[in-house]
């Protein structure tokens, strides 16, 4: 039985996934991290929790946080990030600029890629850096 909480797919399988596919998965990884962060920091009431989550997962917030970790990324991680940023997205929400949306997609692609490799410690390291000064 596959343990979807602790994946470690072969490199060839991960490489076959599109940047949009990686971003789709990474979006879920990032949202789970944000929700866990907020609950563990005392924002556990429904309305406040939802507002705080939305504030942190919107494209502009993700773009801002991705800039904080860029210097920490390895060459391979930067390559995955750039591949995500250059993905052909067809619709951009009205609430986001094109640049912010592409940076958010890049961050999500990176998180999805790391997750599929089973590199949760690296995800956690990057997430903690992103959340400094929040």
- Measured between alpha carbons, how far is 131 from 65 in angstroms, rounded to an integer? 8
CA atoms within 13 A on the CB side of 44: 5
Length of the chain: 134
- Measured between alpha carbons, how far is 41 from 127 in angstroms, rounded to an integer? 15
- Measured between alpha carbons, how far is 25 from 7 in angstroms, rounded to an integer? 12
> Comparing C-alpha atoms, which of 18, 109, 94, 85 is closest to residue 58?
94
Residue 48 annotated as catalytic: no
Candidate list 3, 27, 48, 100, residue with the active-site label: 27
Kindly tell me the sign of the dihedral angle through the C-alpha atoms of 53, 54, 55, 57.
Answer: positive
Q: Which residues are catalytic?
A: 27
């Amino acid at each position: 039985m596959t343990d979807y909480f602790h994946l470690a797919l072969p490199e060839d399988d991960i490489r076959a996934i599109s940047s949009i596919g990686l971003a789709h998965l990474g979006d879920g990884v990032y949202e789970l991290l944000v929700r866990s962060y907020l609950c563990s920091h005392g924002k556990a009431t429904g309305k406040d929790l939802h507002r705080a989550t939305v504030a942190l997962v919107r494209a502009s917030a993700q773009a801002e946080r991705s800039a904080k970790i860029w210097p920490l990324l390895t060459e391979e991680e930067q390559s995955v990030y750039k591949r995500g940023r250059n993905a052909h997205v067809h619709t951009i929400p009205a609430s986001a600029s094109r640049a912010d949306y592409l940076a958010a997609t890049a961050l999500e692609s990176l998180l999805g890629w790391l997750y599929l490799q089973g590199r949760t410690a690296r995800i956690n390291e990057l997430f903690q850096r992103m959340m400094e000064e929040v």
